[in-house]
Amino acid sequence: MNRVYVLLCLMAWSATADAQISKVDDIKKSLATTNKDTVAWLHSGILTLGANEGFLHNWAAGGELASMVLTGIFHGNLSYLNHGSVWENDLDLAYGLSYTYSNNFIPRKTDDRIDFTSKLGSQLKNSKEFYFAGLFNFKSQYTKGYNYADSGWQHKPTSEFLSPAYFTLAAGMEYRKGENFSLFLSPVAAREIIGSRYYTSQSPSGAYGIDSGKTSKFQLGAYFSGRYKKSITKALNFSTRLDLYSNYLAKNTTNSAGVLVRQDNPGNIQVFWDNLFVLKAYKTLSVTFGLTVGYDNSFPFTKNTLNAKTGTLQDKGQPGEDLGWVQLSQVFTFGVAYKFK
Considering the domain architecture, whether residues 14 and 116 belong to the same structural domain is answered as no
Confidence of residue 12 (pLDDT cuts 50, 70, 90): very low
Question: In a 3-state reduction of DSSP, which class is residue 153?
Answer: helix
Is residue 28 located within the same domain as residue 105?
no
Residue 217's SS3 state is strand
Q: Read off the pLDDT band of 307 (50, 70, 90).
A: low
Q: Summarize the confidence of residues 67-90 as an average pLDDT.
A: 93
Parent domain of 6:
1-33
172 & 280 share domain: yes
Whether 22 and 140 map to the same domain: the answer is: no
Please indicate, yes or no, whether residues 272 and 309 belong to a single structural domain of this protein.
yes
Question: Do residues 16 and 115 both lie within one domain?
Answer: no
pLDDT in tens, 99-149: 999 989 999 999 999 999 999 999 998 888 999 999 999 999 999 999 888
The contacts found for 11-14 with CB under 8 angstroms, 24 or more apart, are: none
Predicted TM-score of the model (pTM): 0.85
Alpha carbon 181 to chain centroid distance? 17
Question: How many beta carbons lie within 10 A of that of residue 79, not counting itself?
Answer: 17
* CA distances (Å), origin 31, targets 37, 42, 235, 274: 9, 10, 20, 23
Residues 73 and 148 in one domain: yes
Number of compact structural domains in the chain: 2
Please give the angle made by the CA atoms of 232, 233 and 237, to the nearest 5 degrees.
55
pLDDT tens per residue, range 201-244: 998 888 999 999 999 999 999 999 999 999 899 889 999 999 99
Q: Are residues 130 and 202 in the same domain?
A: yes
Instruction: Give the residue-averaged pLDDT of 282-290.
Output: 87
Query: CA nearest 277: which of 247, 235, 306?
Result: 235
Residues 264 and 316 reside in one and the same domain = yes
